[in-house]
Structure 1
Amino acid sequence: MFAPSAPPRVIVGVDDSDASRWALSWALGEARLRGMELLLVHVAPVPSYAAAAGVPGHGTVCGLREAGGELITRLLTELRSSGGCDPARVSGMTLLGAPGDALVRLAREEDILVVGRSSRGLLSRLVRPSVHRHCAAHARSTFICVVPPTIGPLTVPGADGERPARRRLWGRRHETDG
């Protein structure tokens, strides 16, 4: 006899970044569209000195868990107060460890795992490994990496006396409408 399995979820890794906000927005829309539970997960990386000491009750570790809990609480409050979600289908959790590894272990095969991707410098990538790359390489669930949109300069065809570009359609040359 088979035990009933838990329904699939949309799991979104969150932190306090713009990329994370975009990922949360995408995940909320996907959860609503598919009628799935939305699970917000904050994973605080344990500092190497605390992990080496092997002291789970270390003040820094407890502080990381509390900060993650406050972030999850704030995000859940914002979601529920905006009316954009069913409060019964949205939950959150805070974990300690390597963020990419924790998210991959948490996501089941039928889940959708969502993370944001921000641009970081070389030094930052050396100090903290890329969560989205780890998830892309190791996730057994559907994985979505949300890149925040960039706003560049607007260019208007025909501005500054420019001539509209030409293009070929069906082998004949046509000028584009400006």
Structure 2
Amino acid sequence: MDETTRPDANPTASEPSRAPQRTAAGGSAGSAGQTGLIVVGVDGSKESRIALRWACSEARVRGCAVLAVSIWHLYPLAPPERVGASPWWFTADPEEATRAFLGEVVDEVSADFPDVRVEQRVISGHAAEQLIALSSEADVLVLGATGSGGFVGMRLGSVARAVLEHALCTVVVAR
């Protein structure tokens, strides 16, 4: 196989796998022939929606599941004397807000892929570190080309750059 061909939906037994084999339901691979896991980071950016769409399309071809992951992290927002004063944009439990947002994005994209199982996971922590850790479970990790940081002219976000440098599986950066 070269870079112009798409991998077969059912790789041969002689091809090594660096990730655990899973079915769409998340169990061990069995007679159903569905193996693998595609992890995709979803941060709400247009690029992360494109990444989720790409992951679902690829999962359909491979016959595997997608794990859509959103990671939240609270940065220090104020000096210690201001702690306890809630900023105007922080009005809900961050985990619940992230879970609701992820559900909306997954519902929007997965409507076009009814035959693909898309699981959701919300994690607290640093995005790059958490995605790198999840790469040990994945056959493929998919990210958007730029994140929510929005530096003008940057073609690759800092999270995508860190994941590309340290992931333990194939990484796809979708545009």
TM-score band, normalised by shorter chain: 0.5 to 0.7
Match of 1:21 in 2: 49
TM-score when normalising by structure 2: 0.64
Provide the aligned length of Structure 1 versus Structure 2: 130
Structure 1 equivalent of residue 75 of structure 2: 47
Query: Structure 1 unaligned runs (5+)?
Result: 53-59, 148-178
Would you say 1:85 and 2:114 are equivalent positions?
yes
Aligned residues with identical type, % of pairs: 31
Q: Name the structure, 1 or 2, with higher relative contact order (CA <8 Å, separation 6+).
A: 2
Q: Distance in 2 between matches of 1:140 and 1:65?
A: 27
Conserved? CA contact 1:79–1:85, under 8 Å = no
Match of 2:125 in 1: 97
By how many angstroms is 1:110 displaced? Answer: 4.9
Change in CA separation of 1:71 and 1:110 when aligned onto 2, cut-off 3 Å: closer
Kept after mapping to 2: 8 A contact 1:15/1:71: no
- Superposed CA deviations along residues 26-70 of structure 1, whole A, max 9, x for unmatched, are 1111111111101100011231469x9xxxxxxx6x722112101
Q: Is 1:139 the counterpart of 2:164 in the alignment?
A: no
Give SS of 2:114's match.
coil
Structure 2 residue runs of 5 or longer lacking an equivalent are: 1-19, 23-35, 81-89
Question: Please, what is the CA RMSD of the aligned residues?
Answer: 2.9
Query: Secondary structure of the equivalent of 1:101?
Result: helix
Structure having the larger proportion of residues in helix:
1
Provide the rounded CA distance (Å) in 2 between the counterparts of 1:12 and 1:91.
10
1:1-178 to 2 correspondence within 5 Å? Answer: 5-7=20-22, 8-48=36-76, 63-80=93-110, 82-86=111-115, 89-108=117-136, 110-118=138-146, 120-121=150-151, 130-147=158-175
Amino acid at match of 1:100: A
Q: Per-residue deviation at 1:115?
A: 0.4
Larger CA Rg, structure 1 vs 2: 1
DSSP 3-state at the match of 1:144: strand
Work out whether residues 20 and 116 of structure 1, in 8 Å CA contact, stay in contact via their aligned partners in 2: yes
